[in-house]
Amino acid sequence: MEKDTHVDPVLLVEQSPDAVIFADREGTIRTWNAAAARIFGFPASEALGKNLDIIIPERFRPAHWTGFERAMGDAKTKYVGQSLPTRALRADGTQFYVELGFAIIVADGKAVGALATARDITERFEKERADRARMKELEAKVSEQG
């Protein structure tokens, strides 16, 4: 039987296929892995130390910051165990769809920041939207004939 081998958590985060982002209580990006760079288009050198607004479309920022501040104050999020589809912003300014998972990181009973995982779901989201539109069109045709 092999002995358990310790794996450096930094290595785990860096090699994750999903974006892994940690922002402190003020929303400043402190962790940004290779997948985040690939998905959002910002190299770590440009993302680290920046505000999360670099990846949040402007129209979603007020709601994001309201929820972020509430989660920091409560030291928890209502989205535990959930992945939510939303729009995000790439470095080139284009918007795309991501699926986000969240965790509030707590130390000594106080929230110290938020961890998010993200994956690009643009292709899947657009295919599902097209499928829904096709279904609606077919249902309308059936109604007209029926």
What is the residue-level pLDDT of the chain in tens, covering all 146 positions? 567 788 888 888 999 999 999 999 999 999 999 999 999 999 999 999 999 999 999 999 999 999 999 999 999 998 888 899 999 999 999 999 999 999 999 999 999 999 999 999 998 878 887 878 888 888 888 888 86
Number of domains in the chain: 1
Domain that holds residue 138: 9-145
Q: What are phi and psi of 104, to 5 degrees?
A: -95, 125
Judge whether 4 lies within some domain. no
CA 141/CA 102 separation, integer angstroms: 42
Residue 2 lies in a domain: no
| Dihedral sign (CA 25, 97, 62, 40) | positive
Is residue 83 included in any domain, yes or no? yes
- Domain membership of residue 49 (yes or no) is yes
pTM, whole model, 2 decimals? 0.83
Domain-located, residue 105 = yes
Q: Which two tokens stand for residue 145?
A: 């004939």
Q: Is 1 domain-assigned?
A: no
Answer whether residue 3 is part of any domain: no
Percent of residues, the chain, with pLDDT higher than 70: 98
CATH number of the domain encompassing residue 18: 3.30.450.20
Instruction: For residue 98, tell me if it sits in a domain.
Output: yes
